[in-house]
Amino acid sequence: MELKDVLKTCDHTLLRVDASSGEIMELCDQAVRYGCASVCIPPCHVAGAKRYLSGRMKVCTVIGFPNGYCTTAVKAYEAADAVRNGADEIDMVVNLSMVKDGCWEDVKNDIMAVRNACRGKVLKVIIECCLLTEEEKLMLCDIVSECGAEYIKTSTGFSKGGATHDDVRLMRARCPSSVKVKAAGGISTLEDAEEFLSEGADRLGTSRIVKIAMALEQDGDA
């Protein structure tokens, strides 16, 4: 797989809590230059990035991030506010307390509230696989699919583990073709990225693939 094809799947990501507007603009420039799928940035930077990009790149942001335990009403408001500010894609975190309690209808309602708040935009649902049992992963695949999300996503990258190959294969096998898979968290090499894509991931949440491209360019090998 060519590097440019891998880059097309990348949500070029900067979610560090102290990220400055200057760093976000630099991220935007890199995403445009290397042909990424989107920039994935904190909600407070969405409006500025949208103005700066002027349609050159999709803007993705995160909702209920990284813990997912704010109330459903707060998540829905966050999503609606992000859309008003120009977000094209929304990555929300499920309520893992509800998951652990087996309150599946509440989990569904939580996702649906965000789905309804961002109709017309791409919704990715982060299920934080590293904290789940196999049964919980399967149940969430079904619920996310029922809610009409465009993507199911492995991880926030802020918990105790990131994307694994087993989880990507499970999600791809369980979800219908209408639901795509995003692998995120700990994707550090081109080989790893290619393997996730070959296993059924459609998007990658990472900043490291762009850094690899930049390094190859500096070495004259790109």
Which residues are identified as catalytic? 91, 153, 182
DSSP string, 41-88: E-GGGHHHHHHHHTTSSEEEEEESTTT--S-HHHHHHHHHHHHHTT-S
CB 200, CB 176: distance < 8 Å: no
**Which element (helix H / strand E) includes 39?**
strand 38-41
User: Three-state DSSP class for 144?
Assistant: helix
Distances (CA, A) of 62 to 46, 71, 133: 10, 15, 24
How far apart CA 132 and CA 128 sit, in angstroms, is 7
Burial readout 168-205 (b: 16 or more C-beta within 10 A, e: otherwise): bebbbebbeeebbbbbbbbbeebebbbbbbebbbbbbb
Tokens standing for residue 50: 């949208």
Calculate the CA dihedral of residues 29, 164, 181, 205 and round it to 10 degrees.
Answer: -10
What distance in Å separates the CA atoms of residue 63 and residue 76, rounded to the nearest whole number?
9
